[in-house]
Amino acid sequence: PFILSIAGGGSTYTPGIVKSLMVRLADFPLAEIRLYDIDGERQSVIAPVVEKVIRDHSQSIKFTVTTDPEVAFSGAHFVFAQMRVGQYKMREQDEKIPLRHGVVGQETCGPGGLAYGLRTILPMVELCDFVERYANQKAWIVNYSNPAAIVAEGVRRLRPNARVLNICDMPVAAMRNMGAILGVDRHKLEVDYFGLNHFGWFTRVLVDGEDRLPELRRHIAKFGLLTEDAAQTDPQHSDPSWVKTWRHIKPIMDHFPEFLPNPYLQYYLMPNDIVEHQNPDYTRANEVMDGREKKLFAAAAEYKQTGILPDAFHVGVHGAFIVDVACSLAFDLRQRHLVIVENKGAIANLPYDAMVEVPAYITSEGPEPVRMGAVPLFHQTLLMQQLASEQLLVEATIEGSYEKALQAFTLNRTVPTMQHAKAILDDMIEANRDYWPQL
Ligand code: G6P
Ligand code: MN
């Protein structure tokens, strides 16, 4: 049985992930679960909820809650990372500062994502170092921490040998919905996909060897990718902003009748539209703080008082996916999953060492990317521009370079002019002075 540490134990996602682990104990046996967070106070609110989830399924799993990295990682076999550097308070800044300048406000796309990247790269590297120092030699870090594309590139540059697998639940959430539409379980789908994290396209959706993407495109054009069913079984995705996210896919599909775009492409391909519909005073961070976070904290308080835990946290594909990936790593299952991985020729006309999102077979030694071939010029160009923006941001972080940060912001498709880039960057330096390296 494994020792598993969760870095970012105080996250609103922790109870859901642990619930997913509990229903899969037969596949992924656990001796101990450890929660680790630098915010001990927040973590101590979530921990009793997590402990209750564990005890409902197992009396024998040891449960440890700590802010000490040595306690957290000593001898660990797996680390699930889901840190949010600066918490929702800083996410709110990531979203609101660009909006003040008429630019998309989003936690992973555009200036918000770049700012979040500047906060997260070095703490992620520190986590890799803790794991290298204390954990089992063969330990894997499975990383959900955002902005995943930038974090992946930062870790590749600074700790090329770290055993980190970066993942995102967006493609698999899309596959869950595709499965619902087609009436098959998502595990039955074999998809082809190319891109960067939050910046890619599905090119094929095979069910028993038959490509169902054309049929899915027709369905999506009429109803969106969100079936009513999926919205009900997965409350996170019935949030108004989430539903909107999937609706916005339609104009992209109408204009480019090829492939199926990741919904995040809306921020890059129609930024003006997005800004027009964003409320600069109440963004997704506010929605999450007033919704998911409040609900979980209230449930924790109620549990403390009454001993009864209300059903107040999200269990779904987010937790299920990280457990799937961990199982494949643990037992060399070589399952095919969409993950973020060094290209190594998988996308023939992108750099060999770019961190791309493609299907890969997950072995006990890590992901083996599947060849997606060369992509069309249009897509290649969009990808190269986005890649350059993200790579410059990583270099800005490593070198403490204002100029490279400004280049990263300027190259981002969500940012219309150099002047916008500079004004936003300067505001962000101010807001992030407790978090960013000196630029
Ligand atoms: C999806 C994305 C994640 C992102 C999350 C935000 O799951 O794949 O990268 O962090 O959405 O969700 P939220 O509910 O916090 O806006
Ligand atoms: Mn993601």
Q: Does residue 168 line the site of ligand 1, with CB under 6 A?
A: yes
Which pLDDT score, from 0 to 100, does residue 234 have? 56
If one counts every other C-beta atom within 10 angstroms of the C-beta of residue 306, the result is 9
Task: Return the ligand number nearest the Cα of 287.
Answer: 1
- Give the span between the Cα atoms of 164 and 286, in whole angstroms: 31
Give the pair of three-digit tokens for residue 208.
């028993």
Question: Is the bond into 359 cis (omega within 30 degrees of 0)?
Answer: no
SS3 330: helix
3-state secondary structure at position 260: strand
Note the Cα 75 to chain centre separation in Å.
26
Atom of ligand 1 nearest to the CA of 108: 9
Helix axes 87-100, 418-431, angle to 10 degrees: 150
Regarding the beta carbon of 288 and ligand 1, being less than 6 Å apart is answered yes
Pocket test for ligand 1, best of 87, 107, 150, 290 (most atoms within 8 A of CB): 107
Q: pLDDT at position 112, please?
A: 98
The structure tokens listed for 367 are: 């992901």
Separation of alpha carbons 72 and 79, rounded Å: 9
* 92 within ligand 1 shell (Cβ under 6 A): no
pLDDT of residue 223: 73
User: Across residues 331-343, what is the average pLDDT?
Assistant: 98
| 208 CA → ligand 1 middle, Å | 30
Q: pTM value? A: 0.95
Phi-psi bin for 8: left (phi > 0), alpha (psi -120 to 50), beta? left
Ligand at shortest distance from the CA of 318: 1
275-321 tens-digit pLDDT: 998 999 999 999 999 998 999 999 999 999 999 988 877 778 999 99
pLDDT digits (tens, 9 = 90+) for 383-392: 999 999 999 9
Residue 98 has pLDDT above 90, yes or no: yes
Task: Pick the atom of ligand 1 nearest to 144's CA.
Answer: 9
Closest-lying ligand 1 atom to the alpha carbon of residue 239: 14
Catalytic residues: 169, 264
Q: Is the pLDDT of residue 67 over 80?
A: yes
Residue 169 in contact with ligand 1 by CB distance below 6 A: yes
pLDDT at 235: 53
Backbone phi and psi for residue 208, each to the nearest 5 degrees, phi listed first? 50, 45
| All residues at 6 or more sequence positions from 377 whose CB lies less than 8 Å from its CB, including other chains | none
Q: Is 421 in the pocket of ligand 1 (CB under 6 A)?
A: no
Count the Cβ atoms, other than its own, within 10 Å of residue 197.
30
Owner of token pair 């060369």: 374
Average confidence score pLDDT of the chain = 94
Residue with tokens 């600066």: 86
Q: Is 170's C-beta closer than 6 angstroms to any atom of ligand 1?
A: yes
pLDDT for the residue 314: 72
Helix, strand, or coil here: 335?
strand
Mean pLDDT of 38-59: 97
pLDDT band (50, 70, 90) for residue 164 = very high
For a ligand 1 pocket test, name from 108, 193, 266, 314 the mutation site with the most ligand atoms within 8 angstroms of its C-beta: 108
**What does the pLDDT average to over 140-164?**
98
Residue 204: which H helix or E strand, with range? strand 199-207
- Nearest CA to 267 among 112, 84, 87? 112
Q: What is the pLDDT of residues 2-37, one digit of tens each?
A: 999 999 999 999 999 999 999 999 999 999 999 999
C-alpha 9: how far from chain center: 16
CA pair distance 205, 189, nearest whole angstrom: 6
> What pLDDT shows up at residue 127?
98
User: How confident is the model over 202-254, as pLDDT tens digits?
Assistant: 999 999 999 999 999 988 877 777 665 555 555 555 566 656 666 677 788 88
Query: Which residues on adjacent β-strands are paired with residue 64?
Result: 34
Cα–Cα distance for residue pair 9/38, rounded to 1 Å: 9
Q: Would the ipTM clear 0.90, i.e. be above it?
A: yes
Q: Give SS3 for 344.
A: coil
